[in-house]
Amino acid sequence: MEQLCVVTTVVDARSVADVLAAAAVAGRLAACAQVTGSVDSTYWWQERMETTQEVEVRFKTAIDRVDALVDHIRVSHPYEVPEILVSRVDSGNPDYTAWVREQTRPEPQAG
């Protein structure tokens, strides 16, 4: 089975999550992206404890596309220090992992 990765981030608004998800899939950096409902996050920021509502985005991608996806999220993310977590998937449906790999190939250049 080809290995794939799930890359997760959180943002402060659904509209931001939708834009991140659509751009990653359109750019073939991820085969799919799932935007979930809001979560309450509690954390330290600038020497104060904060609690905010955030929206999670989970991207499914091929292992060789992870670096490009992470770079894209970092550049596009509204946070100064965005959470970007990469989890490798060791096992799963081989048909699904093959589909993820196929969908994350850059489109052929016309020529």
Domain-located, residue 34: yes
- Domain span at residue 30? 4-103
pLDDT of residue 2: 73
Q: Is residue 108 part of a domain?
A: no
| pTM score of the predicted model | 0.92
Per-residue pLDDT tens over the stretch 27-76: 999 999 999 989 999 999 999 999 999 999 999 999 999 999 999 999 99
Q: Is position 111 within any domain?
A: no
- Long-range contacts, 83-89 (Cβ 8 Å, 24+): 83/8, 83/9, 83/10, 84/7, 84/8, 84/9, 85/7, 85/8, 85/9, 86/5, 86/6, 86/7, 87/5, 87/6, 87/7, 87/8, 88/3, 88/4, 88/5, 88/63, 89/3, 89/4, 89/5, 89/6
**Residue 17 forms part of a structural domain:** yes
Total structural domains in the chain?
Answer: 1
Tell me if 109 is assigned to some domain: no
Residue 15: give its domain's CATH number.
3.30.70.120
